[in-house]
Amino acid sequence: MSADRLEFRSSIDELDAREWNALGGGQPFARHEFLAALEHTGCLGARTGWRPRYLALRDAHGLAGAAAAFVKTHSYGEFVFDFAWAQAYERLGRSYYPKLTLATPFTPATGPRLLVRPGLDSAEVGARLLGALEREAGGHGLSGVHALFLDEPARAACARAGWLLRRDCQFHWTNRGWPSFEDYLESFTAEKRKKARRERRRVQESGVRFETRCGGELDAPLLERIYALHRDTFLRHGHEPYLTPGFFAEVARTLPEALMVKLAMHHGEVVAVAIFFWWSQALYGRYWGAAADYHSLHFEACYHQGIEFCIERGIARFEPGTQGEHKVSRGFEPTLTWSAHYIADRQFRAAIAEYLEREGAAVESYALEIQEHVPYRGRRAARGGL
C-alpha cells in the first residue's frame, strides 16, 4: 500500500463521515455520528479529561486507516482499571498522566480500534497506526498508549507489535437459534428455568408492561424522562453521569436505528428504562434507571427484554456491560475481553508485564470457575466464550 501521510486531528468533524464510517464495519460505537455526538454535547474535551487525537492514515484514494484516540488526564470512563499503575508511577515521582487511550469513551464494549478500509492489508495498516501512536506518545511526553476492548484483528496487531496484552472477564449472551424466549428457557436446568419464569411473572403481576422504542421514536419530553431516570442511577452511586442530555438527543437524531430503549410502563407512566445500542451483529446494554422499586424489574428490563429482542431479530450476541455475576443465572456466560498497553518506560513496562502474567492466570481461572454455574443443561463443563 502506498500511503501519503499520517496525521492527527483534534475533532472528528475534521474527518469525512462517509470515509470514516466505511472503515468501522457498522458497529454503532465506531461510527462518526456517535463520536460526533460525544464531542458536540460536551462529553469530550479538555474539561472532561478526554481530549480527542484522531489518527488518520491517507493514501491516494482517501482515508485508508484510522483510530479514535484520546489524551487522558485520568482513567475514569475506561472500565479497564489501571489506577494501581498510576499510583506506582507517583510513588517514584513520575507522571502516569497524560496518557493516550484508544477506546470508545464511556463504553466497555469490544469493537474495532484499528479501522482499515476494506480491501487493504489490515496487518500492514494496523502496524502503521500502532507505530504512529507509539511515536505520538514518545514525542509528547505521554506515559503510554492503551487500547481497550479490542476486537480480534486489533488484539493480533497489538501482539505483533509487542504491546502488553491484558485479559478481563465480562458476561455475554450467545444466540443459539432459539425460536422464542420460551424455547430458550427450555435449555435451562429445571431449577434455573423456574427462577427465570418466576422473575418475569412477578413483573407482569405488578402491572408493568414494556414498550420498545428506537431513537427516531423518542420525542423531547420522553428523552428528558429517559435521561432523568438514567441520571438518578448515577446519583445513587455518588456521581454525575458521563453523558449529557444533549448527547441522547443528538444520537437519537443522527443514529436513530442504533439507539433502542425498553420503557417499563405502569398505568401509562414510564417508571423505568433500559437503554441499548444495537446493530445486526450485537446488542449492547448500556444504562438503566427506575423511579420506584419493583420486584425483579431490573432483571427483566436489562436482561430478559434484551435477550428476547435478540431472539426476535436473530442478533448473534448480547453484551450487557461490565461486572455482575448475577447475569450468569440468566444465561450470560463468562467471556474474555482484551486490552493492549504500550508502556514507554522500560522499567515500568517490565514490572507491568509481570503483573499481567499473574493477573491473566487469575482471570482465566475465575472464568472457568464461573462457567460451572451457567444455567444451561450440559454446558457447565464447556468453555463458553473463553
* Pair (87, 136) in one structural domain: yes
What is the rounded distance in angstroms from the CA atom of residue 319 to the CA atom of residue 307?
A: 10
* Pair (163, 64) in one structural domain: yes
* Pair (41, 63) in one structural domain: yes
> How confident is the model over 164-206, as pLDDT tens digits?
999 999 999 999 999 999 999 999 999 999 999 999 999 999 9
45 CA to centre of own chain: 20
* Pair (87, 143) in one structural domain: yes
* Pair (102, 241) in one structural domain: no
21: its cell numbers: 464510517
CATH (domain of 246):
3.40.630.30
CB-CB neighbours of 221 under 10 Å:
9
Q: Is the pLDDT of residue 381 over 70?
A: no
| pLDDT of the residue at 380 | 54
- Taking the CA atoms of the chain, what radius of gyration do you get in angstroms? 21
> How confident is the model over 61-72, as pLDDT tens digits?
999 999 999 999
169 and 80 Cβ atoms separated by less than 8 Å:
no
Mean pLDDT of 351-367: 98
* Pair (187, 218) in one structural domain: yes
| pLDDT of the residue at 378 | 82
Q: Is residue 239 part of a domain?
A: yes
Q: Is residue 378 part of a domain?
A: no
Q: Is residue 345 part of a domain?
A: yes
Mean pLDDT, all residues of the chain: 96
274 and 306 Cβ atoms separated by less than 8 Å:
yes
| pLDDT of the residue at 332 | 98
Mean pLDDT of 227-250: 96
Confidence at 4, pLDDT banded by 50, 70, 90: confident
Angle between helices 346-371 and 83-91 (to 10 degrees): 150
CA distance between the termini of the chain: 35
CB-CB neighbours of 225 under 10 Å:
17
| pLDDT of the residue at 385 | 52
> How confident is the model over 251-266, as pLDDT tens digits?
999 999 999 999 999 9
What is the rounded distance in angstroms from the CA atom of residue 1 to the CA atom of residue 190?
A: 57
CA separation (Å) from 145 to 50, 72, 294, 360?
Answer: 14, 10, 44, 20
* Pair (85, 134) in one structural domain: yes
Q: Is residue 343 part of a domain?
A: yes
> How confident is the model over 85-99, as pLDDT tens digits?
999 999 999 999 999
| pLDDT of the residue at 386 | 62
* Pair (98, 192) in one structural domain: no
* Pair (20, 149) in one structural domain: yes
Q: Is the pLDDT of residue 1 over 80?
A: no
pTM for the model stands at 0.95
Confidence at 384, pLDDT banded by 50, 70, 90: very low
What is the rounded distance in angstroms from the CA atom of residue 279 to the CA atom of residue 291?
A: 29
311: its cell numbers: 431472539
CA separation (Å) from 215 to 103, 255, 258?
Answer: 23, 7, 7
Q: Is residue 307 part of a domain?
A: yes
From 48-57, 66-75, 231-240, the region with the lowest mean pLDDT:
231-240
* Pair (160, 184) in one structural domain: no
Confidence at 134, pLDDT banded by 50, 70, 90: very high
Mean pLDDT of 235-257: 96
Q: Is residue 384 part of a domain?
A: no
Q: Is residue 242 part of a domain?
A: yes
Domain that holds residue 266: 176-315
CB-CB neighbours of 118 under 10 Å:
8
* Pair (185, 82) in one structural domain: no
- State how many domains the chain has: 2
* Pair (51, 151) in one structural domain: yes
Q: Is residue 303 part of a domain?
A: yes
Mean pLDDT of 221-241: 96
Q: Is the pLDDT of residue 313 over 60?
A: yes
